[in-house]
Every structure is written in structure tokens, then in C-alpha cells.
Structure 1
Amino acid sequence: MANTYSRIYYHAIFSVKNKDYGIHSTWKDELYKYITGIIKSNNQKVMIINGMPDHVHLLIGAVPDFNLSVLVKEVKCNSSKWINKNNLTKAKFRWQTGFSAFSLGYSQLPMVTEYIKNQEIHHKKRTFREEYLKFLDLNEIEYDIRYVF
């Protein structure tokens, strides 16, 4: 082929380190805009972003030559700096070290988009811990429970 045509989709999840100083509803939309800007500046596409006070879900449409780990590291580093610079939490804000990402096919996008969009509804029934372990299990990812959270 003369050109490369592709779109690779990832559902990424990462969480706040200190749950006492999480993402507050008064500034979460601004945070999500900031994160979206970081991802766009890396030539990737944010399909949807949402979360809860203790974690964030991202659906990213990516081109094949990008590095997801580098992108998530940049998002977490720069967004935590932004939160701290603007004094949005009482104590220093930090993200947990790791993250998870799951690849998706095009046909899965509507279902995952709805899932991310309706985080508040899902978390009335299930905690983040329960949700996260379910994702790991559904994707057959081996883990040691002592090192998940």
C-alpha cells in the first residue's frame, strides 16, 4: 500500500494515589479538557474521557507509531502538575504509578463509550476496586492482589 490507514483503540484506566484528595466535581471538567489537550498535542484522539473522584477512564483512538506508556506518563505527569499549580487539592495531588489499558475493536466502541459516559451510574452498584478487578479478570490478566492497589 502507498499509505498507512489505521486506527487503534485503547481503553486506559488510572487512579488517584491518595483517595482523600481526589478529583473534585468542581474542576473535573477542566481537568478532562487539560488531559484532552495533552493527548491531542501528541496527535492522538480522545473519543471520551470520564471517571470518578478516584480514577479516570480514557478511550483513545491512536495511530500505529505511538507509545501508549509514554502518552499515559505524560498525561499523568502534566495533569498532576496542573492540579498542584492551581492548588485544587489540600495536599499534593498524585496519580498511582501504574495504569491499565485494553485494546478494542471498532465494533466495541459504542459499548465502551457508553460505559465510560455512565461512570456515576456504574459506581452506584460497584466500587472502583470491584470494577478494576473485573476488567483484569475479563481480559485474563494475571495479577497478584497484593500489588493491584
Structure 2
Amino acid sequence: MSYTKLTYHIVFRTKYSKNTIPEQHEKELYAYIMGIVNNKNSKLYRIGGMPNHIHLVVDIHPTIAVSDFMKELKEYSSKWLSKNPNFPDFEGWAVSFAAFTYNLNDKQKVVEYVINQKEHHKNVSFEEEYRQFLIENGIEIDEKYFLKD
């Protein structure tokens, strides 16, 4: 038997980072995403975000590649959002996403970060936040493509 424990912090955004997730309906979207995660035999520890992006703290089942997980999550949620009258401005998700793994000891710190998104973004833009995540995780940023989709 193989044993794995990969906790991801995943950040993904709306197309062109437009504010298309109304705060008064975000919990409805989060519940739908939770259902997708559960159907993938994965475990969602926390979900949160802002009108233009979402953070997940999640263990993805070891047989699922993170890219496949995100492709399906965005595909299913896009279809649902496009039919839901509570999200009239939603145009789709950006193609890109960022995913980082964390040590089990850091999981609670990441969960708290996601919980505090509203407060955090009073002072920090999504672009600043996203750029900082990439830099902290040693990912080289190609300005030609950064947040262009």
C-alpha cells in the first residue's frame, strides 16, 4: 500500500480577473465547489476568496493530477455558474492557476490565511498577492503572460 499526504493551496481567478463572484452569493458557489471536491474523493479544508479569485486548501486524491483536478473543477463550476442567475456577469475562469504544497505543520496557517481573505485584500491587490506567492515558491514570472487570460 502506498501512503501520500499532499496538501495544496490552490489559487485561481475569474477570466481577466473581473469581479464576477458577488459576495452575497459566494457561499453558494463554495458549496458547489465543495461537492466537486468530494466527488473527486478529495478533502477540502477551506475555501474562500474575493469577487475575482478563489483559494482552496485541499488534499487531492493521489490518483488525480492537480492539473486534471483543476481542469474539471473549473469546467463543472463554469457550466453551473453560467446557468445560475445569481452570477450574471461570470464569463469564465482564467486558464491559469497556481498550486503550492505545504508541510502538514503549516496547514493551519494556510487555512487562516484563506479565512482572512477579506481583511487581507483591504491592503493588498490580487496581482500583488499572486505575484508574491509565485516569488515565495521560486516560480519565475514571465511578464508577457502574467495575468493576461
* 1:87 Cα deviation from its structure 2 partner: 2.5
> After the TM superposition, which parts of structure 1 deviate over 4 Å for at least 4 consecutive aligned residues?
18-21
Q: Which residue of 1 aligns with 2:128?
A: 130
> What is residue 4 of structure 2 aligned with on the other side?
6
Partner-residue secondary structure (3-state), 1:96: strand
Q: 1:132 to 1:92 in 2, by over 3 A?
A: closer
Letter of the structure 2 residue corresponding to residue 96 of structure 1: A
Where does structure 1 lack aligned partners over 5 or more consecutive residues?
A: none
What's 1:60 paired with? Answer: 58
Partner Cα distance (1:141, 1:18) in 2: 21
> What is the count of residue pairs matched by the alignment?
147
TM-score normalized with structure 1 length: 0.92
Aligned-pair distance for 1:91? 4.0
State how far apart, in whole Å, the 1-side matches of 2:55 and 2:90 are. 22
RMSD of the TM alignment (CA)?
Answer: 1.4
Structure 2's unaligned 5+ residue stretches are none
* Counterpart contact for 1:18–1:93, Cα < 8 Å: no
- The answer to which of 114-123 and 4-13 deviates more is 4-13
For the 8 Å contact 2:21–2:90, the answer to whether it is kept is no
Q: Following TM superposition, by how much is the alpha carbon of 1:18 offset from its aligned partner in structure 2, in angstroms?
A: 4.5
Q: Which residue of 2 aligns with 1:99?
A: 97
User: How far apart are residue 90 of structure 1 and its match?
Assistant: 3.3
Q: Deviations over 1:1-23 (max 9, x none)?
A: xx333321110010011444511
**Post-superposition offset of 1:88:** 2.7
Identity %: 38
Match of 1:57, SS state, is strand
State how far apart, in whole Å, the 2-side matches of 1:59 and 1:53 are. 18
Aligned to 2:46, the other structure's residue is in SS state: strand
Counterpart of 1:86 (choices 84, 87, 104) is 84
Return the alpha-carbon distance in structure 2 between the equivalents of residues 73 and 106 of structure 1: 25
